Amino acid sequence: MPLGPDYAQILSSGQACLGIEFGSTRIKASLVTPDGEAFASGVHSWENRLVDGHWSYSLDAIWEGIAGAYASLVNECQEKYGVVATTYSALGISAMMHGYMAFDKDANLLVPFRTWRDTTTGRAAEALTAAFNFNIPLRWSIAHYYQAMLDKEPHVPSVDFFTTLAGYVHWKLTGKKVIGVGDASGMFPISDDGSTYVPEFIEKFNNIAGDGRNVADLLPEVLPAGADAGTLSEEGARLIDPSGKLQAGVLCAPPEGDAGTGMVATNAVRPRTGNVSVGTSIFLMAVLEKTLKNVHPELDIVTTPDGAQVAMVHCNNGADEMSRWVEMFREVGIALGAPDVSSDTIYAAMLGAALDGEPDAGGVLAYNNLSGEPVVNLTEGRPLITRAPWATLNLANFMRSQVYSTFAALAIGLEVLEKEDVHLDILSAHGGVFRTEKVAQRLLAAATHTPITVPDGASEGGSWGMAVLAAYVAYCKKNGAKTHALPDFLDEVVFASASNATISPSTVDERGFATFLAGYRQGLTIQSSAISALPPRAL
């Protein structure tokens, strides 16, 4: 029987590829072999906060976080393999897409980082959507920038460069103001060939802004997957590893957004494939065969990491609220004298109960909105659990309602794709919620009316996807003209021997979810009332 990879040798010889992703609540670092097999990871927790009415993370938190995640990874490598790598074949940075980080000519951050979670850009998004005849969602970087212009914020004349979180971190690590095309497509619309920002829209924006500047000069350069995006500088190496062991000179992949790394992690980059990523937010990516006929506020048109057009249904609220309920029940168990069991065990027990619930969750209605949800026209979030007196409240229905709530806004957005005659053969899913086998997968199939597959490694999430993109840039550098296109590299190198578990939707679950969703829609008025009744913070 052939032996598996010698991970210690891969580490010591510098062949491993490193991916680091900044998620909403965790920063995760992953290591893969040259063919994309994950073998080590590290994590660091962090939380966003409201700063002057905007969701934000501080610069200190960014750099403490990347160093913390990397140190966690190094410790795992030391414990498992007895080796600490000093260099890598390639590395890449990914992060939450969208948002706004603006800098002056001296590289000073002009206002605190504004994340994708902001819903303060309504006027700008509406005006740009009308001007471009192309949907510009609230969270896109250009909407943030134009809203700042409309609000006459004093920092705007000083803006010399603005980018995403991944673009910022990559810039500081390499000195390169570049961005992967997938992440760039959440800043400003991308041309059909995936090579740059749409020139026509650049011109229109410049005319609208009327300040004599070319917005293209303020945006990062667009690069496709596999492109050389620079090398790790001495300063960058110290930012990742303050201990000084990590060497400069590592080849870097273009920085990507979490949507792109999710597509890679689930091998969903070809037309008629798609993926669903479930984390603090939830989004569905459908790789298109042709351009959509109409403009839809529920859909972003973004790209794969190699520039193919994708329709994205993005919902601000994913599994975060459910995770808080799971944590509370864990605390109840501890208070009753139960041992402090692992998160995986708690999730397996509680999510497993959802499958015993009534198909429509027994009349229990949940809203998972911790923040605003544009898909259902909510500007703020108020998490709620409610029911009619006749509803059956038990653990099984409660948890089924929580899972359904996680998928409800996504299902509403997906209805728009169905009207555009977009066909998907299969959806791949990834995110920690799928570590509990079959539960979220089965109910997601019901919500999307599509078979759901969970590939090997999917629960590793976006940091693994970014590490695979780092492996791809190393592969491209090594093979030159013989390089595979990204879809072929994934099929023939990374996923060639992967096993997938696929679940098709059941009629009973589909009918149950449809009943739940009808109640969810009708009850949205409760959400609006809660926003009025409950202040956003303690006064």
Q: What is the pLDDT of residue 448?
A: 93
Q: 155: left (phi > 0), else alpha (psi -120 to 50), else beta? A: alpha
The pLDDT profile of the chain, 539 residues, written as one tens digit per residue, is 345 689 999 999 999 999 999 998 899 999 999 999 999 999 999 988 888 888 899 999 999 999 999 999 999 999 999 999 999 999 999 999 999 999 999 999 999 999 988 889 999 999 999 999 999 999 999 999 999 999 999 999 999 999 999 999 999 999 999 999 999 999 999 999 899 999 999 999 999 999 999 999 999 999 999 999 999 999 999 999 999 999 999 999 999 999 899 899 888 999 989 989 888 889 899 999 888 989 988 888 999 999 999 998 889 899 999 999 999 998 998 899 888 787 788 899 999 999 999 999 999 999 999 988 988 988 899 999 999 999 999 999 999 999 999 999 999 998 989 889 888 888 998 778 888 889 999 999 999 999 999 876 555 678 999 999 999 999 999 998 778 899 999 999 998 877 778 999 999 999 999 999 999 999 999 998 999 999 876 43
Provide the terminal-to-terminal Cα distance of the chain, rounded to the nearest Å: 66
Distance CA 426, CA 416 (A): 18
Distance CA 10, CA 31 (A): 10
Q: How far is CA 126 from the centre of its chain?
A: 24
> For residues 47-61, b (16+ Cβ closer than 10 Å) or e, as one string?
ebeeeeebbbbbeeb
* Partner residues linked to 443 by β-bridges: none
Strands of 272-381, DSSP E:
273-278, 282-287, 300-303, 309-315, 364-367
Q: What is the pLDDT of residue 187?
A: 98
Distance CA 462, CA 210 (A): 39
**What single letter denotes the amino acid at residue 232?**
L
Residues 417, 422, 426, 427, Cα dihedral to 10°: -30
Q: What is the pLDDT of residue 539?
A: 37
Q: What is the pLDDT of residue 537?
A: 66
What is the bridge-based pairing of β-strands 384-387 and 364-367? Answer: antiparallel
What 3-state class would DSSP assign to 430? strand
Distance CA 184, CA 304 (A): 10
* Partner residues linked to 384 by β-bridges: 367
Q: What is the pLDDT of residue 458?
A: 55
* 143: nearest Cα among 95, 89, 98: 98
Residues 38, 63, 90, 470, Cα dihedral to 10°: 60
